[in-house]
Structures are given as structure tokens and as C-alpha cells.
Structure 1
Amino acid sequence: MRLLIIEDDREAAAYLAKAFREAGHAADTALDGLDGYAMAEGGDYDVLVVDRMLPKLDGLSLIRSLREQGLATPVLILSALGQVDDRVKGLRAGGDDYLPKPYAFSELLARAEVLARRRAVAPGTAEATAYRVGELELDRLSHRVSRAGQEILLQPREFRLLEYLMRHAGQVVTRTMLLEHVWDYHFDPQTNVIDVHVSRLRAKVDKGFERPLIHTIRGAGYMVRADEARGA
């Protein structure tokens, strides 16, 4: 699950992003409504977690604008305003769920996962919950990976890396793309962290099989594909 957290409290946003990542999900953050709107409109997110009281563009206006643009990504509203009328306004603005503050992260996580599942079973979106490349299968909802019927156990970061590669199967995935979408870095830390994780992933996915699925594209990046790669 990939989330966008739009929250103006920097510490709260950082805490939520860290908690979601520790639960095995990818999370980006925006600290005001305008940035949040731009990221939500241009990003591929499963769930948006939106604080109601935001600078530059308040949460309800942000949600209305996204809905007017046809963006159907599920939205979970967070707010200190928890009265019935407040919740009704949030839902009528286009929110899919409303969680008053203070809240337990375990409940927030459960609600976000429910919204992601509902989106997954909606018409035309089922393919986004599972990926298959040759005999390799990945299920985003159950966090299960298998190849030729054999289950492969992955660490959360390895799962996110493989999910991103499989989402873009047959396409070159650059280091910059991996840093931004798997590690949430918007700069190159000048380390071999990607190479190390790809190597570990290869050892789990390709070891013992005649045909490798994870390929290095020299000078470009990486690619998952079922056919034999030339010069990889």
C-alpha cells in the first residue's frame, strides 16, 4: 500500500510516515494543502490521509478539488473536529472515512488498509492488487510472494522493491525512481543501498531457477521481465 500523508504538523507527519513504513507500506508526506493537492493529483497512491486543518488549502477544499478533477483515490480525514456535523461535512466533501483526533495508530492503519482493499475490488482496479511476471506472483494485500508455487519470504523493504519492479515489469526502473518510491529519498545518498537490496532480492527470487527475472540494465537501472535478457 502506498500512502500520501497531508499533515501540517511536521512531527506528526514524520511519525505517521515512519509508522506506516514500519508496517511494510510506502508513505510520502506533504506539509500544506497546495503541495498535498499537487502530489495527490500527480502520484499513484492507494490511500490519502488528509488533515482537515491545513495551511494554503484546507483539507475539505483539497478533497473537493480532487474529486472535481475525477481523482477517486480513497481519502481518510484526520481532524480534531470530531462532532457529528464535522464528520458529515468531511464525508460530503468527498472523504471516504473520518477519524477524530486523538487516535490510535493501529486503528488508523486498519482503516487505511480497509480503504485500500475496497479500492482493490472496485471495477477496473483489481489488477493493482496483484502482479505476475512469468511464474513469479506478488499479492499486495496478503504480502505474499511465490515463484512456481514456492513461497518466498521477504523483508518489508525487499517486498516494496519487488512490488515496484513488478508494477513496472518490462520497463527500465532507474535508481532515482527506486530512491523516491521505495526509499522515499528525493536525493541520492551516494551509497550502494539499492545494489545491496537488489542482490538480496535476486538471491531469493532467482536462485535455483534456470531463468533470472531480475535484470540489470547497464547504465540505466533494473528491470523485471520473464524473457531472457541479453547483455544483462
Structure 2
Amino acid sequence: MAPPDTAPPDNDVLWARALRHAHHGSPALLGVSVNVRQGEILAVTGPRGCGKTTLLGCLSGQLAADEGEVWFNSMPIHTLDAASRERLRRDRFGWVGDTPQLVDELTAWENAALPLLLAGTGNRTARRTALDWLERLDVADCANKRPYAMLQSQRQRIALARALVHKPDVLFADEPTAPLHRADRAQVLRTLTTAGRSHGITVVLATHDTEVATLADRTLALLDGRASGAAAEACSLTV
């Protein structure tokens, strides 16, 4: 086992060891370790309530684990203060969840362009880039609509465009196809995986859908807050 606060291997963009976290006293993670290589698509699978969302929250810096280490490249996320974690999420990570969290007052393209606009990208460039992602996700016709005027499936695609628009180092996707019908789900997953591979984006995808997991390069199975089966053995070899 590596000594505490030792940076992860160079080919791992994300590396976590012995993560433990509880929600209001209820254990959610019980010593989970995981590594994710640059450009890899990792599916985190398991039934609802097994700890998938909590793991993604800890890896992305949204949650501070009660115990354990999380590294992004050579940066120890577990030692960062809240403001530094927020900057990391804004500048280097993308996030899409099972429900789209859009700004009601903004149009679809403005919602999609938000990460670029917040980073100081010019309006024209941000709009052009956002429209390109809306086109890829087959919602370009919604560009000037506000969320209330769109279907749930369209709003979810806008949320995915927003997560990808700034070409993050890591995209965290927590059940991103949950609100979609089968045909929509297939297209969104193709776009997500294609974008990841073509732009070198590392993707950590939480899902309880085995069909979704087949698109990943590797799978980490969770059960009751622990890595299960061969996944647990594989992860133990990295720490």
C-alpha cells in the first residue's frame, strides 16, 4: 500500500483510496478505492442506494469524504478548501445528473454556453460553440427556447451540452439517461462516448443500466458501499 499523500501514477487522471462517507450517520461508502486513466470511460454500476452518486460526488469534489484520499492528476482534492474545489469543478470538470438543472431565465444556448461565459469567453465564440453541441445532440431547434418550453428529454440534452461545452478534463455523469426514452438514450450515450474519445475527455459514468455500462472501457461494481467482486480485487492492486 502506498504511503499517505503520495501522488497517483502518472497515467491516472483520477485516483482515490479507501474512501469512506456517511450521510447523516448512514454509511454510503465503506473504503472504496478506484483509479481512472486519462481518456478512459469508467462505468460505476450497482443498484440504487449502493453509493454510486456519493462516489462521484467525492471524486468530483462536490463532497468531502470523511476518510480517504482523492487525487486529480497531482492535485490532492481531499486537502483543498471549498473555494478551491469549486474552481476545480468549474474549470476542469463537467457534471450532468439524472435531472437537468437549467437556469430558467436563460435560453437553451445560453444555458449550454454558461461554463464558457463564466470563464470569460466572448459571447460570439461561446454561442457558436454551444450551438455546435446542441446540433450534435439534435436540439439545435431549441436554441432560443427557455427550459419551460422544452420537453424533459430536450432539457437533459441541453444539460449534457453544458457539461461538454468547455471540453472538461473529466466528465462526471450520474445516471444521465434516466429521464430519456430508449431511442433518445442511445443517441445521447453515443454522443457522450464519442465526445469523450474524440476530445480525450475522461468519463466517469454512474448507472444501474447494464446496457449503458457496455459502452464503457471498464466497470467498477458497487454493492452496499463497497467495490464488489473482481472490481474490488482490481482496485486493491492500485493502492
Query: Normalising to structure 2: TM-score of the pair?
Result: 0.29
Query: Normalising to structure 1: TM-score of the pair?
Result: 0.30
- Structure having the larger proportion of residues in strand: 2
Say which structure, 1 or 2, has more relative contact order (CA 8 Å, 6+ apart). Answer: 2
